[in-house]
Amino acid sequence: MLEIIKQPWPWYVSGPLIGLMVPLLLLLGNKAFGISSSLRHVCAACFPANIPFFKYNWKQEVWNLFFVAGIAIGAFITWQWLFDYNSIHLNPKLLNELNSYGITDYKQVIPHEVVNWQGLFTLKGFVCIIGGGFLIGFGTRYAGGCTSGHAISGLSNLQWPSLVATISFMTGGFVVANFILPVILKI
């Protein structure tokens, strides 16, 4: 059984399992699936500071905090005991492209040349982490949710704003991955 869990699951198994979470949450608990709202719940619980945005009964959404904690715990368990770092197979075309950016260390899931403590304190690291974090936070708030909330929950509920948001997320990801990230990696 453990070997089945350790292997990558095909899209036609994992996709429907993720997709079935939406109706299960709606039918069993009348809850909407999404991750970004959990940060609002944490802020409302820990730092209300008399801000109107954080004045609501966050305790009604405590299930979301348990859900996010479960994701973090599951990720830790997978990283610590279930993931085989020796079996990372990358497409040869991707390897050639990464080599052209000076990325050659593939012993970890995220190459050391991309994410490391020394790089965090450089101008490029500051712009990527602080600027990127701001853009993600602003975009999530502006779009009224994150990619998982819109693409999984919103689309399954046939919400027009979620379709627009998902198309925007995908377009932005394509532009960044193909045009902006190569420039950043060459700096």
Q: What is the per-residue pLDDT for 163?
A: 93
Say what the pLDDT of residue 12 is.
92
- 76-113: per-residue pLDDT in tens? 998 888 877 666 777 899 889 888 888 888 777 778 77
Residue 41 located in a structural domain: yes
| Residue 104 belongs to a domain | no
Residue 164 belongs to some domain of the structure = yes
Q: Report phi then psi at 104, rounded to 5.
A: -125, -10
65 and 121: one domain?
A: no
Residue 101 lies in a domain: no
Q: Is the pLDDT of residue 60 over 80?
A: yes
Predicted local distance difference test score (pLDDT) of residue 171: 95
Domains identified in the chain, total number: 2
| Residue 92, in any domain of the structure | no
**Residue 76 shares a structural domain with residue 124:** no
Which pLDDT does position 87 carry in this prediction? 64
pLDDT score, position 85: 67
**pLDDT, tens digit (0-9, with 9 covering 90-100), for 15-49:** 888 888 888 888 888 887 778 888 888 888 888 77
Residue 125 and residue 79 share a domain: no
Domain boundary among 83, 106, 141: 83
Residue 110 lies in a domain: no
pTM, entire model: 0.70
pLDDT value at residue 146: 83
Which domain covers residue 68, as residue numbers? 1-83
Could you tell me where the beta strands, DSSP code E, fall in the chain? Answer: none
* Residue 121 pLDDT: 86
93 belongs to a structural domain? no
* Residue 150 domain flag: yes
How would you write 140-157 as a 3-class SS string? HHHHCCCHHHHHHHHHHC
